[in-house]
Chains A and B, each alone.
Chain A
Amino acid sequence: MTILDIRDLHVVVQGREILKGISLSIAAGEVHAVMGPNGSGKSTLSYTLAGRQGYDITSGRILYQGEDLTALAPEERATKGLFLALQYPVEIPGVTTMNFLKAALNAQRRARGDKELDAMSVLRLVRETAGQLKIPEEMLRRALNVGFSGGEKKRLEILQMALFKPTLAVLDETDSGLDIDALKLVADGVNALRAPDRSMLVITHYQRLLNHIVPDRVHVLSDGRFVAEGGKELAHELEAKGYAGLARDAA
């Protein structure tokens, strides 16, 4: 079954066309990687999928589980099982991480018609998952992302992914700013969440993340277009030749 189907997508940001007609199809349980240099349109793709304002689709379409995604507000997409782990998670002063997680979990539950969880149930749920990601209790009592290290921020994103149990997870440069130990921790967290009913779109600049999260398909994005596609070995080829080399081959 196809979870995400992107057809000839064109996206304009602040009057400039960033995505110039890309197509992509992800089946249930598959992990796809989108690789590309800076400025190729990787983050635009992730923000467009999540529904951020200012990312205007000028033509093409995005179907998510057969439904037109573009008609939905970001919170509706989240409720329907789409999750975006941000490259730069945002700080919200004064709002404790635990409180934020509770608000998000319950907002999604309410929208689905499920009963809200009380503070104790949320605490129990979060504790279980946090332990696996080596997220200490103390971090959950701090204001959301305020003063967190790069590694802590990214682990918190994966914690949310584990809590929300998305159908489609988009990971936007989850490896950026991480040392090798932190990278491994995050990758293990992601791998533990691989499941037949969960698809992933892993967006990255570097091949090294894909040594840990091994994709089923790799797409290479350059200047708003996919210039190469293949299996996991494409990532290694890219590492050897560089983006410039690959773009030359494609031309």
Chain B
Amino acid sequence: MSIAAETKSQVAELGEKYKYGFVTDIEMERAPRGLNEDVVRLISAKKGEPEWMLEWRLGAYRRWREMREPAWARVHYPKIDYESAYYYAAPKLAAQPKSLEEIDPKLLETYEKLGIPLHEQKLLAGVAVDAVFDSVSVATTFKAKLAEAGVIFCPISEAIREHGDLVREYLGSVVPVTDNFFATLNSAVFSDGSFVYVPKGVRCPMELSTYFRINASETGQFERTLIIADEGSYVSYLEGCTAPKRDENQLHAAVVELIALEGAEIKYSTVQNWYPGDEQGRGGIFNFVTKRGDCRGARSKISWTQVETGSAITWKYPSCILRGDDTVGEFYSIAIANHFQQADTGTKMIHLGRNTRSRIVSKGISAGKAQNTYRGLVSVHPRAANARNHTQCDSLLIGKECGAHTVPYIESRNPSAHVEHEATTSKIADDQLFYCTSRGIAEEEAVALIVNGFCREVLQQLPMEFAVEAQKLVGISLEGSVG
């Protein structure tokens, strides 16, 4: 079927299928290949970390040596050789930059190409950005304005040096060092990431945002994010991710920990667009991520929203521990897998406190030869009287060679709990496509329109500035999925 010439030129404008696939030519400083105690020490030294942090890392490293990679997910990939990768790569800097003016202009250019202007005057109104390039955080904007409100938003390496007590109290308190293979690896070698602390009663005056970029080849990225919302505070945080096109697979193993104290609310949104590999399934990022939030205080709320369009492999289950009474956990997810992508993603809602509520809305879209699995756990503990959960799990299939799988686990140990699970599987029907094309909408645009409609409930959860971007991304990631 022919595609309207206009659509073609529009798509061409967006660059190639993956427009973030460029490499920035910049001098890099790396740790030697492979992983051993010396590499861990080197990373810690590079960051100027205190002794306790180094010990924490070494403990994690020793533990990791004894662990095995998990194999329960519905993803298949060649064995990862942990000894041949680099665990630290940083753009070479003469000295730590004091301001944006001192940052390598090539780095700034990269972020502009990605649509993340770091210059404050060009920033979207009200969004503060921390940018992480390979292993180091290169700039955090709007620091001063946030400081006025008492909000700390800085690279985690800086927080370890300057807010050591806070980091020490909370780091590893949601995702323990021993949690799982990838989280433990991250604990040993994490190089940078973001740190947020919102003090009591403060509503963070702007959206906070981090942009992650993998640039160096054969390098893993292990960022670590820690967000603490003190009593009665509110913060909305968004992360975006891109990487260059490469034939090799690169490992990304991040850990994100959220802590909401009494009455606090954290809204965490992700637009994940790591390089997904080419149409034959070559290359792409292996994305093994541990994200967990702890509603530690009563009446606190944590809401995860994710738009997952990238990566060759996605293994990710942003979860909520509903520890405090009357706490609320939410998980809104769009996972798109096209060509040879494999996604195994979902959430865990652990109801510990009384009157805890959780809501799960998962929209999985599979196209090409992709496999997309929703895996979710709803667990109600004996003390969690009147716990409520509602799960809505919808899958959309495009074409005949892809797969959608739903694996819900429900454990209830309290008879007063109400747990509901709804699931649907549908296809984009020929008559829907024909209806659109007969009104002048070309097929690819029609698919994007229909899929965006399918995802609407989740897209509505994103902050306005990013919802439009995410809608476009949904269309682009499904290019070539029909016809």
Binding site for B on A (CB under 8 A): 50-53, 73-79, 84, 86, 88-95, 99-100, 103-104, 107-108, 110-111, 143, 160, 164
- From A101, which residue of chain B is reached at the shortest CB distance? B439
> Which of B117-125, B221-229, B447-455 lines the interface with chain A?
B447-455
- From A145, which residue of chain B is reached at the shortest CB distance? B435
Determine if A86 and B6 form an interchain contact, defined as CB atoms under 8 angstroms apart: no
Determine if B453 and A94 form an interchain contact, defined as CB atoms under 8 angstroms apart: yes
Q: Known interface pairs A79-B440, A104-B439, A104-B441. Does A95 touch B453 (Cβ–Cβ under 8 Å)? A: yes
Determine if A92 and B453 form an interchain contact, defined as CB atoms under 8 angstroms apart: yes
Other than the given A90-B432, A90-B434, A94-B457, 15 more pairs (CB < 8 A) read A51-B437, A53-B1, A53-B434, A74-B434, A75-B438, A75-B439, A84-B438, A88-B431, A90-B429, A107-B439, A107-B440, A107-B442, A107-B445, A164-B439, A164-B440
Prevailing SS type, chain B contact patch = helix
Q: Known interface pairs A90-B431, A92-B432, A107-B445. Does A73 touch B450 (Cβ–Cβ under 8 Å)? A: no
Determine if A103 and B445 form an interchain contact, defined as CB atoms under 8 angstroms apart: yes
Binding site for A on B (CB under 8 A): 1-6, 10, 429-432, 434-443, 445, 449-450, 452-457
Task: Choose among A75, A84, A93, A100 the residue that contacts B442 (Cβ–Cβ < 8 A).
Answer: A75
Listed A/B pairs (22) with beta-carbon separation below 8 Å: A52-B434, A74-B437, A75-B438, A75-B441, A75-B443, A78-B437, A79-B440, A84-B438, A86-B438, A88-B431, A89-B435, A90-B429, A91-B432, A94-B453, A94-B455, A95-B453, A103-B449, A104-B441, A107-B441, A107-B445, A111-B6, A164-B440
How close is B459's CB to chain A, nearest CB, in angstroms? 9
How close is B76's CB to chain A, nearest CB, in angstroms? 32
Task: Choose among A84, A91, A93 the residue that contacts B454 (Cβ–Cβ < 8 A).
Answer: A93
Q: Known interface pairs A94-B453, A94-B454. Does A111 touch B440 (Cβ–Cβ under 8 Å)? A: yes
Task: Choose among B2, B6, B457 the residue that contacts A110 (Cβ–Cβ < 8 A).
Answer: B6
Q: Known interface pairs A76-B4, A92-B450. Does A50 touch B438 (Cβ–Cβ under 8 Å)? A: yes
Task: Choose among A79, A90, A94 the residue that contacts B435 (Cβ–Cβ < 8 A).
Answer: A90
- From B426, which residue of chain A is reached at the shortest CB distance? A93
Q: How many A-B residue pairs have CB under 8 A?
A: 93
Determine if B452 and A74 form an interchain contact, defined as CB atoms under 8 angstroms apart: no
CA gap between A90 and B429 in the complex, in Å: 10
With a cutoff of 8 Å between Cβ atoms, the chain B residues found around residue A75 in the complex are: 4, 437-443
Determine if B442 and A94 form an interchain contact, defined as CB atoms under 8 angstroms apart: no
Determine if B435 and A103 form an interchain contact, defined as CB atoms under 8 angstroms apart: no
Q: Known interface pairs A74-B437, A78-B439, A110-B6. Does A94 touch B452 (Cβ–Cβ under 8 Å)? A: yes
How close is B159's CB to chain A, nearest CB, in angstroms? 41
With a cutoff of 8 Å between Cβ atoms, the chain B residues found around residue A50 in the complex are: 434, 438
How close is B432's CB to chain A, nearest CB, in angstroms? 5
With a cutoff of 8 Å between Cβ atoms, the chain B residues found around residue A74 in the complex are: 434, 437-438
CA gap between A103 and B447 in the complex, in Å: 12
CA gap between A143 and B432 in the complex, in Å: 13
Determine if B441 and A53 form an interchain contact, defined as CB atoms under 8 angstroms apart: no
